Amino acid sequence: MPEAIQVELAPHSPAWARAAAQEAERLWAVLGDNVLAVHHVGSTAIPGIHAKPIVDLMPIVRSVAALDEAAARLQALGYECWGEYGIVGRRYCTLDDPETGRRKFQLHCYEEDNREITRHLAFRNYLRAHPEIAREYDAEKHCCRELHPDNSHRYSDAKAAWITACLVSALAYSLGEQRG
């Protein structure tokens, strides 16, 4: 299990999207045709809100078994692979900056038919389309950081109820977009 880290919330930066695109290219290069897509998710993908300055990427793969076999290639890029890490079917990986020791990227890898994909994309897209809800999430994140400034695991647990409640609307919004 990765150690809990201090919770730093930084203002949104366009550099996060550029970093996501560059890291996606590195992932494509080492994982090849097993990768179907690499999505930028999490708070760094939502303009206008604060985020931990750690870019979350969601690679969608044809096969998690093939991804497991490629773990050495991810490790050669600097990633630590943590297995499912609490979510069935996910492969969670982290990359820390070798110079600073600070986490830079988190991968949430799923096989193409995993329902978690829909959840991640619906949440991101809903907050992008509804800046007022994104601002509410930003306020929730700040409250949770005040409660748990030195423990990223507890911080994440604290905001989980807000996210779960928001997902109802996000998934409904996503279904409406698909039908529209």
Domain span at residue 25? 15-179
Structure tokens at 140: 């929730």
Domain count, the chain: 1
Q: Where in 5-162 does DSSP place strands (E)?
A: 35-41, 55-61, 79-81, 91-96, 103-111
Q: Given this model, what pLDDT does residue 180 score? A: 60
Q: What is the rounded CA–CA span in Å between residue 88 and residue 119?
A: 14
Asked, for residue 105, whether it belongs to a domain, the answer is yes
pLDDT, average across residues 105-130: 97
List, for residues 3-50, the tens digit of each pLDDT value.
Answer: 899 999 999 999 999 999 999 999 999 999 999 999 999 999 999 999
- Is residue 4, in this structure, part of any structural domain at all? no
Residue-wise pLDDT for 51-103, tens only, equals 999 999 999 999 999 999 999 999 999 999 999 999 999 999 999 999 999 99
What pLDDT shows up at residue 176? 87
Q: CA-to-CA distance for 35 and 61, rounded, in angstroms?
A: 4
Q: How far apart are the first and last CA of the chain?
A: 42
Residue 1 resides in a domain: no
Rounded Cα–Cα distance for residues 163 and 156 (Å): 10
- Kindly state whether residue 10 falls inside one of the protein's structural domains: no
Beta strand spans in the chain (E): 35-41, 55-61, 79-81, 91-96, 103-111
Residue 178 pLDDT greater than 90, yes or no: no
pLDDT at 120: 97
Which CATH number is 159's domain given?
Answer: 3.30.460.10
pLDDT classification of 160: cutoffs 50, 70, 90: very high
Residue 107 lies in a domain: yes
Q: Which of 144, 147, 92, 148 is nearest to 120 (CA)?
A: 92
Whether the full predicted model's pTM is greater than 0.85, yes or no, is yes
Residues 6+ apart with CB under 8 A from 59: 24, 27, 31, 35, 37, 38, 39, 67, 107, 108, 109, 110
Examine residue 5 and state whether it is found in any structural domain, yes or no: no
Residue 177 has pLDDT above 90, yes or no: no
Q: pLDDT tens across 124-135, in order?
A: 999 999 999 999
Q: Is residue 3 part of a domain?
A: no
166 within a domain of the structure (yes/no)? yes
